[in-house]
A and B are shown apart, each in its own frame.
Chain A
């Protein structure tokens, strides 16, 4: 439990940091960082329910876009502003690092496994985002 709280809070901090780096306006900072926290919450939840590397980041990214669209409507700004901080914790920085670290130590099997995991997460994030955007576009006519 303590671990989960630490992860959620540090996801919030990470999202906040990146929102600053990307030059986000002050009054959106809280909701952008909240998106990172909630997105990671969805990841943890789906990860505990499903036995898959692929689906949790997909659901979390799909949630992040939905949250961003909602926030964009409430605060009247482009949705992209909220998508990006929200998906930052999902970016597979950890598995990319371990891929390299295994490769340096000559552990080819370990490098292969975490390499595949890195690619899978990147694809899953992109699919999750595109899925929601496609559903939205279905509703808007030409």
Chain B
């Protein structure tokens, strides 16, 4: 298939959009590069150069006869995993590799995926079950699990509200762990039968960048060293913010109690 100059730049645009969405959903770097390479090939490029790090996408397409087209995009993703969109993106890329769809159709389906976020009630329910489950998992009583579940609602609402502002992940982790620590400290001071540590661990599991950290190390082990290193540094700062907020809360609770 031969693309005109306009179609080439539209394709490039679609590929950038797709790469950004994949990164935003938590796809591994190697998967993003692999997907974009295949799509470039499927649409007739004789050479596709893709470079991806968590903060930047760069794609250059070489077509026969015409000059190469290239574009870069700055990406601001916070490492949120979203299987819902990830699966849809996978389906689209598989379809394109098999039988390239018309470019405006591709554009429309990407826009559709970009607009469709995970439903909030599902995330809320997941946070409640997740925090409650892990409070019990780490040795808490059923009551500890219930209190952790209640605070999970708070964290989830905070995430939803602050997600609409410009607040970055570091500030968010600092703030939410401080508030959660103070709240749990207060409740456990009033009801001594509860275990503050177990409840806090359950809630911290919601904020901990454990997965992002594991993914970062994985990136490095498969050869994406730059991406792995920047992600790892990022997650360490996030974890430090989490630890900082919790430590301040624990220190305040200890000073009062």
Q: Which residues does A use to contact B, with CB under 8 Å? A: 6-7, 10-25, 77-78, 80-81, 84, 87-89, 91-94, 96-101, 103-105, 122-123, 125-127, 129-130, 133
B residues 135-174 touching A (CB-CB < 8 Å): 136-138, 145
Task: Provide the main secondary structure of the chain A interface.
Answer: helix
> Does B186 sit at the interface, judged by CB under 8 A?
no
Q: Are B126 and A18 in contact (CB under 8 A)?
A: yes
**A-chain residues with CB within 8 Å of residue B213 when the two chains form the complex:** 122
The B201-231 residues at the A interface (CB cut-off 8 A) are 201, 204-206, 208, 210-211, 213-214, 217-218, 221-222
Given the known interface contacts A7-B137, A21-B130, the answer about A94 and B201 at a Cβ–Cβ threshold of 8 Å is yes
- How far does the alpha carbon of A122 sit from the alpha carbon of B208 in the complex, in Å? 12
**B173–chain A nearest beta-carbon distance, Å:** 13
B134 on the A face (CB < 8 A):
yes
- Which of B2-10, B45-53, B64-72, B83-91 makes up part of the contact surface? B83-91
Instruction: Write out the residue numbers on chain B whose beta carbons fall within 8 Å of the beta carbon of A16.
Output: 126, 129-130, 133
* Interchain Cβ contacts under 8 Å between A and B, 8 examples: A6-B136, A13-B132, A96-B239, A100-B243, A105-B254, A122-B217, A129-B218, A133-B218
B247–A103 touching, CB < 8 Å: yes
> For the complex, is B14 an interface residue (Cβ under 8 Å from A)?
no
Nearest-CB distance from B199 to chain A (Å)? 10
Interface residues of B in 77-135 (CB under 8 A from A): 81-87, 90, 118, 122-123, 125-134
Residues of B near A101 (CB, < 8 A) are: 197, 250
Q: How far is the CA of A95 from the CA of B52 in the complex (A)?
A: 33
Chain A residue with the shortest CB-CB distance to B118 = A23
* A84 & B81 in contact (Cβ 8 Å cutoff): yes
A6 CB, min distance to chain B CBs, angstroms: 7
Residue on A nearest B145 in the bound complex, by CB: A10
With both chains docked as a complex, state the minimum distance between the C-beta of A61 and any C-beta of chain B, in angstroms: 8
Main secondary structure of the interface of B (DSSP, over half): helix
Expressed in whole angstroms, the minimum distance between the Cβ of A5 and any Cβ of chain B is 12
- A123 to nearest B CB, angstroms? 7
Contacts of B247 in A (CB 8 A): 100, 103-104
Q: Contact: B84 with A14, CB < 8 Å?
A: no
What is the CA–CA distance of A96 and B211 in the complex, to the nearest angstrom?
14
CB <8 Å contact, A91 and B211: yes
- A contact residues around B128 at 8 Å (CB): 17
Given A20-B123, A91-B211, A93-B134, A98–B129 Cβ distance below 8 Å? Answer: no
Chain A CB within 10 A, most for which of B87, B125, B145: B87
A89 to B211, CA, bound (A): 11
Contacts A25-B87, A97-B200, A101-B197 hold; do A20 and B126 have CB atoms under 8 A apart? Answer: yes
Q: Is B176 an interface residue (CB 8 A)?
A: no
- Nearest first, the 5 closest Cβ-Cβ pairs linking A and B are A17-B130, A20-B126, A13-B133, A91-B210, A23-B84
B241 to chain A, nearest CB (A): 12
A24 to B90, CA, bound (A): 14
A18→B68 CA distance, assembly (Å): 43
Q: How far is the CA of A20 from the CA of B200 in the complex (A)?
A: 21
Question: In the bound complex, do residue B205 and residue A80 qualify as a contact, i.e. CB atoms below 8 Å apart?
Answer: no
Q: Which residues of B contact A91 (CB under 8 A)?
A: 205, 208, 210-211, 214
